[in-house]
Amino acid sequence: MTWKTAATIILFNTEIRQVLMMKRGGSAPFMPNSYVFPGGVVEAQRDAEFPKQKTNFDCFMEQSIKMESFPSDYPLRVAAVRELFEESGLLLVAYENCRERQILNCSEDAGLEDWRKKVCQDPKLFPQLFFGNTKMDIKSCVPWSNWLTPLKKVPTKRYDSIFFVVETKNSPNVKHCEKEMTEAVWTEPSKIIGRSSGKGTISLPPPQYYELLRLRLSVGTPLTTLANPTRITPQTIISEENHSFTVNIFPGDHCYIQENAEFVEPRVMPIKDLTIDSEETRPVHRMTYTSTPTLQYTAHELHLRNIEKIEGTHIFSTSTKTS
């Protein structure tokens, strides 16, 4: 395997439709200065060995997204909850013998903040946070999507990331980890999409942009029904005339190479071959963005045409007007 496994939580306040976004620092080795969902690398052995009796895990839980080398998504859920705690100071807990679930908050609990510092220094201490009736809440983690970092011209780390969505009825205060993040904000999906579209004033990685679009369109639909089990491996095409202009080709697009899709090298094409004609009849499923010295992913546009011709699972309904 040429990539690492990662787990991410999309924390979504379904009452006022806000999502938690965090901004990486400028010195971050991966996606610097970008707004992301909290998450990180799965520590396969440690997370798999987390005591199940300290969680509300149910072996019959829906596991609609399968990940390589993981017979169960249990360690992925553990990693997602742990990373959320380390990066945002929010801890998902459930209480035995009752149905109550809660999000504990480091900004309002000095003792919990002390524990976060300990866990960041020594992750082996994480299980000690859960004792008695207090369990780690991993049932609330709803499988949502699976993204693999595309190949790039300059070799970089690749991550096979599972995204879980967790519904909440409020937007708890966040105390972000200052070593990794510079900001945390609760925001409507449409607002952060707007800031990264058009001329673009922020950096928003393609998976975040795409998933925020899905959340924006999810009004009135149970999130548990929107899981996409197909791993999305974008393929990169760079403009011949402007190397800062990039196209991510998604499964189903007529330019997508299906054979060994995970290992397709970046291509360079003239802009005329990347332009979507208004009379295009072939399926189009792609995103464009621009890179600047300070904003790695900005000025996004999603292009979606003739998606009824896209085989297999696609993300948006055929009535979607995105173009």
Q: What is the CATH number of the domain that holds 83?
A: 3.90.79.10
- β pairing state of 284-290 and 245-249: antiparallel
In a domain, 303, yes or no: yes
Q: Answer yes or no: do 159 and 286 share one domain.
A: no
Q: Answer yes or no: do 266 and 240 share one domain.
A: yes
Q: Which residue is it, tokens 């440690």? A: 46
Residue 170 CA to residue 185 CA, distance in Å, equals: 13
Mark which of 188, 205, 225 sits at the end of a domain: 225
Evaluate the CA torsion angle 302, 16, 199, 146 in order and state its sign: negative
Return the pLDDT at 180: 86
- β pairing state of 235-239 and 267-269: parallel
Mark which of 225, 248, 279 sits at the end of a domain: 225
Return the pLDDT at 323: 36
Q: Answer yes or no: do 221 and 247 share one domain.
A: no
Return the pLDDT at 315: 55
Domain that holds residue 255: 235-309
All residues at 6 or more sequence positions from 214 whose CB lies less than 8 Å from its CB, including other chains: 145, 226, 315, 316
In a domain, 81, yes or no: yes
Low-confidence residues in the chain, pLDDT < 70: 1, 59-62, 309-323
In a domain, 315, yes or no: no
- β pairing state of 142-148 and 134-136: unpaired
Evaluate the CA torsion angle 142, 15, 103, 213 in order and state its sign: positive
- Report the number of distinct structural domains present in the chain: 2
Q: Answer yes or no: do 243 and 221 share one domain.
A: no
Q: Answer yes or no: do 164 and 51 share one domain.
A: yes
Q: Answer yes or no: do 92 and 204 share one domain.
A: yes
Are the CB atoms for 266 and 233 separated by under 8 Å? no
Q: Answer yes or no: do 57 and 39 share one domain.
A: yes
Q: Answer yes or no: do 181 and 253 share one domain.
A: no
Return the pLDDT at 310: 61
Q: Answer yes or no: do 216 and 301 share one domain.
A: no
Q: Answer yes or no: do 183 and 295 share one domain.
A: no
In a domain, 77, yes or no: yes
Q: Answer yes or no: do 147 and 268 share one domain.
A: no
Return the pLDDT at 319: 34
Mark which of 225, 251, 286 sits at the end of a domain: 225
Return the pLDDT at 97: 77
Q: Answer yes or no: do 38 and 158 share one domain.
A: yes
Return the pLDDT at 152: 83
In a domain, 321, yes or no: no
Return the pLDDT at 317: 42
All residues at 6 or more sequence positions from 86 whose CB lies less than 8 Å from its CB, including other chains: 40, 116, 119, 120, 177
Return the pLDDT at 91: 98
In a domain, 314, yes or no: no
Are the CB atoms for 304 and 285 separated by under 8 Å? yes
In a domain, 285, yes or no: yes
In a domain, 317, yes or no: no
